[in-house]
Amino acid sequence: MKKEVKDILSKYLEQNKMRKTVERFAVLDAAYSFDTCFTMEELKTLLEYRSFPISRATLYNSLKLFKRLKLIICHKLQQGTKYEAALSINSNCHQICTLCGKVSKIDSKEISSIVWNTRLKRFHMDSFSLYVYGMCSNCVAKQTRKRNRNNKRRVQTN
The enclosing H or E element of 24 equals: helix 22-31
Which of 53, 117, 123, 157 touches DNA by CB under 7 A? 53
Identify residues 1-20 at the interface with DNA (CB under 7 A): 13, 17-20
x/- mask, its own copies, residues 114-153, rule CB under 8 A, reads: xx--x-xxxxxxxxxxxxxxxxxxx-x-------------
Kindly determine how many residues on this chain lie close enough to bind DNA according to the rule CB under 7 A.
Answer: 24
CB of 111 to DNA, least distance (A): 27
CA dist 153 → 142, 144, 148 (Å): 17, 14, 9
Which of 2, 11, 50, 64 touches DNA by CB under 7 A? 64
Kindly determine how many residues on this chain lie close enough to bind its own copies according to the rule CB under 8 A.
Answer: 35
CB of 126 to DNA, least distance (A): 21
d(CA 8, CA 32): 14
Which of 62, 71, 72, 103 touches DNA by CB under 7 A? 62
Name the DSSP class of 90. S
Question: 115-132: buried (b, 16+ CB within 10 Å) or exposed (e) per residue?
Answer: beeeeeeeeeeeeeeeee
Which of 26, 40, 69, 77 touches its own copies by CB under 8 A? 77
Choose among 79, 30, 86, 80: nearest CA to 58: 30
Which of 45, 55, 113, 144 touches DNA by CB under 7 A? 55
CB of 44 to its own copies, least distance (A): 21
Question: 13-45: buried (b, 16+ CB within 10 Å) or exposed (e) per residue?
Answer: beeeeeeeeebbbbbbbbbbeeeebbeeeebbe
Residues that bind its own copies (CB under 8 A): 74, 76-78, 95, 97-98, 104, 106, 108, 110-111, 114-115, 118, 120-138, 140
